[in-house]
Homo-oligomer: A and B are copies of this chain.
């Protein structure tokens, strides 16, 4: 069987299984709290919880140099991993970066790439402390970020329980709209187009928002990278619950709504890479969070004790809507 038949999430489950069965999962380490399968790994270290996460960005899979400026690429490469720490309710502290580069890459371009990474690192009070560089036939950026969180403030994918409301920070769809704009250059107001492209290229990880969720008693969260529905399904699988989402309540980005009309809901549900936080908690906690966050928080549905891992989408009339493309998955048929 080939990886494409298993799909990305099937593969991750398989890898977790191998690691567990071979005794290289949680067993050797009594200090491990969260292993494979969440936004970041978490382990105890002298009363603190350390967080570790890694990502890989590959030329012509995750980005193309024709449409992405090097500086933005640097920003985004690190943003992706910082967002994983935010989704655990933690602070990002340190980054180690592995790079694969063709040997005819311009030093000037790599300088821009690192300038972008340094920019976002500085914004979050992080330090870039090491890594590896290697020759490669194409550009590869593999960031790892180490962070920390207090144990009682940690957010995981597995913390959702029936009765929780489901909520999301900010607006959705602008990153996917920006990507579409970069690829097809539709005739849009250039100011709007560049705002959307900016949303795609320079996402802002929700670190302070994640901190606030943890401080106010939220237990379950994920960042929206694969797409709202796909990421909600990750929470449902990890928590052993079902989610019901109302289409009418999805906070589609107003600019996306104005520019894409009916097509905008699809960008918001499945586009991905918004790097907003999707979380679940009892209604009272969500109300408290709403009052304290400086960005919008929208309740979009609720967690029920139904079919494990299922996400049901309810249309205007309250009837279930079929949703074909549920989010990004590597090795799938795109």
Contacts and interface: CB of A to CB of B under 8 A. Distances in A.
Interface of A: 1-6, 8, 11-12, 14-15, 18-19, 22-29, 32, 34-38, 40-41, 43, 45-48, 50, 52-58, 60-62, 93-94, 96-108, 110-111, 114-115, 117-119, 121-122, 125-138, 140, 142, 144, 146, 148, 330-331
Given A4-B103, A140-B56, A41 B11 contact: no
A118 B23 contact: yes
The 5 A-B residue pairs with the shortest CB-CB distance, nearest first, are: A41-B129, A22-B118, A24-B121, A24-B118, A142-B142
Contacts of A99: 56
Given A11-B133, A25-B128, A18 B115 contact: yes
B117 A56 contact: no
A327 to B, nearest CB: 15
Given A1-B107, A36-B128, A96 B53 contact: yes
Contact of A122 (B24, B97, B98): B24
Q: How many identical chains are in the complex?
A: 2
A132 B54 contact: yes
A115 B1 CA distance: 17
B23 A122 contact: yes
Contacts of A98: 54-56, 98, 142, 144
A30 to B, nearest CB: 10
Contact of A126 (B28, B34, B136, B137): B28
Contacts of A5: 107
A54 B11 contact: no
B58 A118 contact: no
Residue from the set A11, A18, A144 with the largest chain B CB neighbour count within 10 Å: A144
30 contacts: A1-B108, A2-B107, A11-B107, A14-B110, A15-B110, A18-B111, A18-B115, A19-B121, A22-B114, A24-B122, A24-B126, A28-B125, A29-B126, A34-B129, A38-B130, A41-B96, A41-B129, A43-B94, A45-B148, A52-B94, A52-B96, A52-B130, A52-B146, A54-B98, A54-B131, A56-B132, A58-B137, A60-B137, A96-B144, A98-B98
